[in-house]
Amino acid sequence: MIEAKGLGKSYRRFQAVRGVSFEVRPGEVYGLLGPNGAGKTTTLRMLATLLRPTAGRARVAGFDVVRQSLEVRRNLGIVNGGMKVYDKLTGYEVLDFFGSFYDLWGAKLKERIAWAAELLRIERAVLSKQVKDMSSGMQQKIVIARAILHQPQVLLLDEATAGLDVFARRALLDFVRQYAGLGKTLVYSTHVMSEAEEVCDRVGFMNKGLLVYEGSLQEALALGSGNLERAFIRRLEEVA
Ligand SMILES: Nc1ncnc2c1ncn2[C@@H]1O[C@H](COP(=O)(O)OP(=O)(O)OP(=O)(O)O)[C@@H](O)[C@H]1O
């Protein structure tokens, strides 16, 4: 469902992402893990057709991210940790507005909003609140609801739990597993290894623009004697 081959992005002489290759299958949660500046966001933005690669290629849902960007966008949702929504609108109005981008109107839109709200455990009363009156956890749920209204095959989550309290974080981690359970494909980018341990089936470690390790969660845990953070550090020492 996602296939990146030698994907790279350079800014003048600086290589933010250097020849990254990986694949993600339907129903799988792939953890893209690494410290700040590793190149995770740049990689996800290339997959989402928001940044043009300067090397390699990638396909999402069978479509090329450069030559078939419209088809890619139809099949993909992306969420960044710091995404904002218009805070004077109610939750319902936000979803109504974004639904129109995907040709969702009337009864169909209502049905999709109810579907997303149930999946994300957003109460009806919250949908009629203005965004500015919602907790940051609720706001993030609206952001995610907005990203899945068109029921994309592929969902890219970039530091999606940043700044959330324990309840909102829990709801989002549960949502990730549930969405994968629908046969969807997810990339979960984070520097919080404990979250990845909980939701990912496979993980890739990124550092300085390179994918330095890839394996199933079990393999990665074994590498770190049961701890993902230790595995990450060991792998980095090996390649240093
Ligand atoms: N427009 C740009 N021009 C130059 N350098 C950039 C640009 N965008 C990103 N970079 C650099 O590319 C590198 C990778 O950034 P990226 O945001 O992809 O990392 P990340 O792993 O997502 O980290 P973070 O969690 O901090 O977002 C960083 O060194 C960053 O400073």
pLDDT digits (tens, 9 = 90+) for 77-97: 999 876 777 889 999 999 999
CATH number of the domain where residue 193 is located: 3.40.50.300
Q: Based on the fold, state whether residues 184 and 229 are members of the same structural domain.
A: yes
- Ligand 1 mean position to 43 CA, how many Å? 10
pTM greater than 0.90: yes
Q: Based on the fold, state whether residues 5 and 70 are members of the same structural domain.
A: yes
Q: Which amino acid is it at 24? A: V
Range of the domain at 169: 1-74+153-239
The last residue of a domain, from among 91, 125, 150: 150
- Estimate to the nearest angstrom the gap between the alpha carbon of 72 and the chain centroid: 15
**pLDDT score for 134:** 92
Judged against a pLDDT cut of 80, whether residue 121 lies above it is answered with yes
pLDDT in tens, 58-70: 999 999 999 999 9
Query: What is the number of other CB atoms lying within 10 angstroms of the CB of residue 14?
Result: 8
Q: Which residue has the tokens 């149930």?
A: 118
Q: What is the overall mean pLDDT for the chain?
A: 93
Q: Based on the fold, state whether residues 159 and 231 are members of the same structural domain.
A: yes
Nearest CA residue ID for atom 17, ligand 1: 41
Q: Which residue has the higher pLDDT, 31 or 171?
A: 31
**pLDDT score for 103:** 86
Question: Which numbered atom of ligand 1 lies nearest the CA of 209?
Answer: 14
Q: Based on the fold, state whether residues 214 and 199 are members of the same structural domain.
A: yes
**pLDDT score for 189:** 96
- Ligand 1 mean position to 118 CA, how many Å? 35
Q: Based on the fold, state whether residues 176 and 137 are members of the same structural domain.
A: no
pLDDT band of 102, cuts 50, 70, 90: confident
ipTM of this predicted complex?
0.92
Q: Based on the fold, state whether residues 70 and 165 are members of the same structural domain.
A: yes
Q: Based on the fold, state whether residues 166 and 231 are members of the same structural domain.
A: yes
The partner residues of 4 in beta bridges, in order of sequence, read: 22, 58
With a 6 Å cutoff on the Cβ, whether 82 touches ligand 1 is: no
**pLDDT score for 81:** 73
Number of domains composing the chain: 2
pLDDT band of 166, cuts 50, 70, 90: confident
Q: Based on the fold, state whether residues 96 and 202 are members of the same structural domain.
A: no
Q: Based on the fold, state whether residues 127 and 181 are members of the same structural domain.
A: no
What is the spatial distance between Cα 48 and Cα 51, in angstroms, rounded to a whole number?
A: 8
The last residue of a domain, from among 150, 170, 199: 150
Phi, psi of 108 (to 5 degrees): -65, -45
pLDDT in tens, 169-180: 898 999 999 999
- Ligand 1 mean position to 143 CA, how many Å? 22
Q: Based on the fold, state whether residues 91 and 117 are members of the same structural domain.
A: yes
Q: Based on the fold, state whether residues 127 and 94 are members of the same structural domain.
A: yes
With a 6 Å cutoff on the Cβ, whether 204 touches ligand 1 is: no
- Ligand 1 mean position to 187 CA, how many Å? 18
Nearest CA residue ID for atom 24, ligand 1: 36
- Ligand 1 mean position to 208 CA, how many Å? 10
